[in-house]
Amino acid sequence: MAIPYGRQSVDEDDIAEVVRVLRGDWLTQGPDVAAFEEEFAAACDAPHAVAFSSGTAALHGAAFAAGVGPGDTVVTSAITFAASANCAAYLGATPVFADIDPVTWNVSAETCAAAGAARARAVIPVHFAGLPAPIAEIRAAVGDGAAIIEDAAHAVGAHVDGVPVGSCEHSDMAIFSFHPVKTMTTGEGGMVTTRDPELRDRLIRFRTHGIVAAPDTPGEGGWFQEQHDLGFNYRLTDIQAALGRSQLRKVGGFVTRRNEIAARYREGLGDVDGLVLAPPAPPGSLHAHHLFVVWLEAGADARRALYDRLRAAGVLVQVHYVPVYRHPWYRETYGYAPGLCPDAERYYAGCLSLPCFPALTDAEQDHVIGEIHAALGA
């Protein structure tokens, strides 16, 4: 049986919660959405959380709430899923790419500054693979001129010195994804946390067509509503929120198991020459380990050979990610060319994501480790 790089963990408690909603009166935007938002905000130690239909929608909403528009630039990591940059393009702004730190594979204050973050409307640092990015340092380097939107799609359950990712201590907003391969799932879904009630209100309007109830308008009644923004239907359903609430209660266990898997990879692969293992979290912080990435010093040809061999052996490894600016749409639209971010290019040439999810068994992981040893001669 094939071993995927990621897979959801859904149990009978999760199913029962979804069935409870299906048997009730509300299917969309009912009490479970509100409860999910409240519980997620509390888990992140943030005052506000706004649910969205996907992590991509959450990014779009956060960029809108930050005032991103035509003529603006938005800085994000070169190594991320395209949605981290697309949210700027959706609003007519220009995505600009910061190189990664070759040790952490996250952006740094220095790489964001070099990409022009101080002149940007927003900066979107990515907590790549679940390793917390240096948000406090980025805020200090950028100043208050740019909004900071943490892309925490990989980092549910991570923390820095005990402060949860998503608390927004040093940022304006943080976005999360609940896709099935992430730490927790709602099927599809996303969330934005913030400390700013005005941003919360803009987010709520944006996910609901830009429409707000206005029953006190003179001459109107309880039915009356007005569109204040050009928003979208980015609403999460109560069905998804019920699953999310159940999954949220298990995040601690999910993250603990992911870190156990990461530790077994470090023990089992630490002696393989030419194989660099995913950077650990610094002391006092917690890595969410959405991904466990290894990097082959030998480069692209060696990575392709290992990828093909592992896939043939039923180990469905993946590559995260092609530098965003190398995608055809970005090349054709903005004129970006290969080589823009040298450390991102070097990382991409050798990276490979190994299976890492709570239900991965020790026997399955031993199979992965054994195949890598056999392939690389260690």
> For residue 267, what are the contacts with CB-CB under 8 A and spacing of at least 6?
none
- From CA 117, how far away is CA 180, in angstroms rounded? 32
Structure token pair of residue 140: 């200090």
Q: Which of 61, 59, 4, 18 is nearest to 185 (CA)?
A: 18
Pairing of the two strands 173-177 and 190-194: antiparallel
First to last CA, the chain: 25
Three-state DSSP class for residue 294: strand
CA angle 134–136–141, rounded 5-degree value = 95
Cα angle 268-131-246, degrees, rounded to a multiple of 5: 95
Distance CA 165, CA 159 (A): 5
Query: 16 burial class (0-12, 13-18, 19+ CB within 10 angstroms)?
Result: exposed
- Choosing from 182, 207, 258, 303, the catalytic residue is 182
Contact 303/348 with Cβ under 8 angstroms?
no
The reply to whether 182 belongs to the active site is yes
Q: How far apart are CA 40 and CA 48, in angstroms?
A: 9
Q: How many CB atoms lie within 10 A of CB 329?
A: 12
SS3 233: strand
DSSP string over 29-60: SSHHHHHHHHHHHHHHT-SEEEEESSHHHHHH
For residue 182, the tally of other CB atoms under 10 A from its CB is 25
Question: What does the alpha-carbon distance between residue 376 and residue 261 come to, in Å, rounded to a whole number?
Answer: 21
Q: How many CB atoms lie within 10 A of CB 13?
A: 11
Instruction: Note whether 141 and 165 are within 8 A (CB).
Output: no
Task: Catalogue the active-site residues.
Answer: 182
